[in-house]
Amino acid sequence: MELKFQLHVKIQKPIDQVFDAVYNPKKITQYFATGSASAPLDEGTKVIWRFADYPGDVPVSVKKMVPNELILLEWEAGDGGYNTHVEMRFEALSKNETLITISEGNWSENQKGLNASYGNCYGWMHMSCCLKAYLEHGINLREGFFHNPKLANHG
């Protein structure tokens, strides 16, 4: 059994705006990687995402990027020691509606891998909802959303 999930979110904006909000480091830091994003998600690039509410760097390797269509990423699995594969597909439903589909797979087929997949599914759903709120309403849902006791002494 392959551990993999897929989610879909419809965003009421043109495909080029939705794609750019994920690809562009200046935009993704407005709703998701709120600490910083080191570079755009260009094919062959290793990008470092930082989150204001989560300690440490999150390295992301961009395996493929097709403008307004596809972003393929790899990053270390939550249970460690191997990479998972993230696929983001962008589909224009109309002139002002875009469907973003995010899937992730390649976890270890054990309880730790299953638990990590649940956590990432939650994370990508949260990211896609934050993306929708940012693009459609100019709101950063992530701000003040999480309580992280590990950061309590970091100001």
Nearest to 85 by CA among 105, 69, 71: 105
> Do the beta carbons of residue 63 and residue 74 sit within 8 Å?
yes
Q: Distance (Å, rounded) from C-alpha 39 to C-alpha 98?
A: 24
pLDDT tens by residue, 81-104: 999 999 999 999 999 999 999 999
Residue with tokens 């509410």: 53
pLDDT at site 153: 40
Beta strands per DSSP E along 67-133: 70-76, 83-94, 97-105
Stronger pLDDT, 94 or 140, i.e. the higher one: 94
> What does the alpha-carbon distance between residue 15 and residue 74 come to, in Å, rounded to a whole number?
23
Which H or E run includes 49?
A: strand 46-51
Amino acid at residue number 77: A
Half-sphere exposure of 82 (CA within 13 A, CB side): 11
pLDDT at 80: 87
> What does CATH list as the number for 4-143?
3.30.530.20
Q: Which residue has the tokens 């299953």?
A: 114
Please give the pLDDT value at position 130. 94
Domain map of the chain by residue range? 4-143
